[in-house]
Amino acid sequence: MVLPSAPVQHTSRDTERPYAPDRELFYLSGLAEPDCVAVLVGGSDPRLELFARSRDADAELWSGPRLGLEGVQSVSGAEEVYPIQELASRLPTMLGGADRIHVRLGRSREVDDLVIGALGTARARGPRLGSGPRGVIDPGEILDELRLLKSAHEVETIRNACRITMEGHRAAARALAEGVGEWVVEAALEGAFRAAGAIGPGFASIVGGGENACTLHYVANDATIPEGGLVLIDAGAEYGLYHGDVTRTFPASGRFSGTQRAVYEIVDEARRAAIAAVRPGATIGDVHEASTRVLALGLLDLGVLSGDVDEVVDAGCHREFFPHQTSHWLGLDVHDPGDYQRRGASRMLEAGMVFTVEPGLYFRPESGGEGMGTWSGIGVRIEDDVLVTGDGAEVLTTDLPTAIDEVEGLVGR
């Protein structure tokens, strides 16, 4: 398995973006530096070998200290660490002894060229020598399954990310008011993340006031919060390269209107139903079905849809108002890897999995439907982060309330 580090990215010319480490490389080695390549060798002599940057006083003057070869060995526990300049001379020999290479082509041009060269050499010489790589496999075949089940250390790091995320949401709620810029709330949110020790936001924060709450991935955050509007905040802190991901929907005035309250109560009931479905042996599909049924029933009660709930769900009529899934895996990536289906069946939940529960209802002004005028422009999503335990579920974000009176009490205070 060959895992190159992520490249340094630039906004323009020589201005660098904050470095975003490759999560697979970090997961297996603990390394968060650029210009590294990890090589895991299997067979009778399994080992980890690394190529990394040497110390460089001139470069470190500008960009800060590097681990150097000894530091990389200490962090990773690798059997051998070589200067990155030796990759081209050493990697072909390592690859020549493999029958398959696990690598994501397209991540590193240099690694791609060396892998393709090893495949070409094996094709030319393999029939006579009986050795050499004959296939390339996505590393996710192995790593996705490993990353799906979190270790105790990972869970504790995610707890910290969730704790900081909740602090940020409280700060955002304090900054909320009618007529305030979405960007002001965003600044309070992300400032609280940093003040509490996070790297920063793990993804572009969503602060959607009024109709903007109906755009699922609204990130412009450049509008003024309207009078009487709701504000949907979907954001998460990144801590130790792990993520929290929480959504709360607040009334800008500090009080939900009757129509807003009706929609909010349906979504919160769906959230509770989904969490109640979480336990080992259940499936991720069960979680989605539990929330979907509550939302469909709610849409019928509101008069937006008509008919029988089973017919509504089977026909997918609810999807105009709830177009996304209830959950995604959470960890080193905010949308962590892992299959949601296996062999055509929904993935069974196991202790150690961490994922979101985030039902929502969105009444976009352009949507049709019976009685839509009453609800037009209302968007509500409520999201918690959940750990599957040995006998059920633990909500990692339960300290940030969802009950209407408590949510109202957070606004402006």
Q: How much is the pLDDT for 130?
A: 64
Q: Identify whether 399 is a catalytic site residue.
A: no
- From the candidates 47, 134, 153, 217, give the one annotated as an active-site residue: 217
The span from the CA of 76 to the CA of 67, in Å, is 11
Q: Is the pLDDT of residue 366 over 80?
A: no
| 245 is a catalytic site residue | yes
332-342 per-position pLDDT tens digit: 999 999 999 98
Active site residue 99: no
Q: Using the predicted structure, report yes or no on whether residue 352 has a pLDDT greater than 70.
A: yes
pTM of the model: 0.95
Using one digit for the tens of pLDDT, what is the confidence trace for 216-241? 999 999 999 999 999 999 999 999 99
Q: What is the predicted pLDDT for the residue at 371?
A: 59
Q: What is the pLDDT of residue 43?
A: 84
> Does the annotation count 381 as an active-site position?
yes
Rounded CA separation 290/347 (Å):
15
Q: Which of 22, 211, 358, 408 is catalytic?
A: 358
Lookup result for tokens 């990692």: 396
Longest C-alpha distance within the chain, in Å?
Answer: 79
Give catalytic status of residue 153 as yes or no: no
Known catalytic membership, residue 324: yes
In whole angstroms, give the CA distance from residue 2 to residue 38.
6
- Cβ 33 vs Cβ 60: under 8 Å: no
The string of pLDDT tens digits covering residues 252-299 is: 999 999 999 999 999 999 999 999 999 999 999 999 999 999 999 999
Domains of the chain listed by start with CATH number:
2-145 (3.40.350.10), 149-410 (3.90.230.10)
Catalytic residue at 310? no
Q: For position 129, what pLDDT does the model report?
A: 63
Cα–Cα nearest to 117, from 132, 137, 138? 132
Per this entry, what is the length of the chain?
A: 413
> Is residue 384 annotated as a catalytic residue, yes or no?
no
Average pLDDT rounded to a whole number, residues 38-53? 94
391 is catalytic: no
Determine which one of 324, 333, 339, 394 is catalytic.
Answer: 324
- Active-site position among 53, 318, 381, 385: 381
Whether 383 is a known active-site residue: answer yes
Instruction: Say whether 58 is catalytic.
Output: no
H/E run at residue 408: helix 404-410
Among the listed residues 24, 234, 268, 384, the single catalytic one is 234
Q: Which of 154, 186, 336, 383 is catalytic?
A: 383
Query: Among the options 22, 24, 186, 245, which is catalytic?
Result: 245
Among 27, 264, 362, 364, the one annotated catalytic: 362
Instruction: Out of 335, 342, 370, 399, pick the active-site residue.
Output: 335
